[in-house]
Amino acid sequence: MLSQGSVGGRPRKLLTEGKVALVRQLVEDHNHSVDDICSTLGIFRSTLYRYVREAKKAPPEPPT
């Protein structure tokens, strides 16, 4: 049983924003297949699509 405030589940594979940005860039590039991206990053197809879906929900990053 989990105590209050603790989060259960498996830790995320891609922890840094840089890796998530890389996923978005590779998906938008259209030169790489989904299978190639997944095998390179060591993630499953469903994980890739989850990161893409979450990136679309997030507000856009301010320009630097």
What residue spans define the domains of the chain? 17-57
pLDDT at site 35: 92
* pTM (predicted TM-score): 0.61
CB 39 within 8 A of CB 26: no
**Distance, CA of 24 to CA of 5 (rounded, Å):** 31
pLDDT at site 1: 58
CB 27 within 8 A of CB 48: yes
pLDDT, one tens digit for every residue, the chain (64 residues): 556 777 777 776 666 677 778 888 888 888 889 899 889 888 889 988 888 888 777 666 666 6
Q: Which two tokens stand for residue 6?
A: 């603790």
pLDDT at site 43: 85
**Distance, CA of 39 to CA of 33 (rounded, Å):** 10
Instruction: Write the CB contacts of 42 (distance below 8 Å, at least 6 apart in sequence).
Output: 13
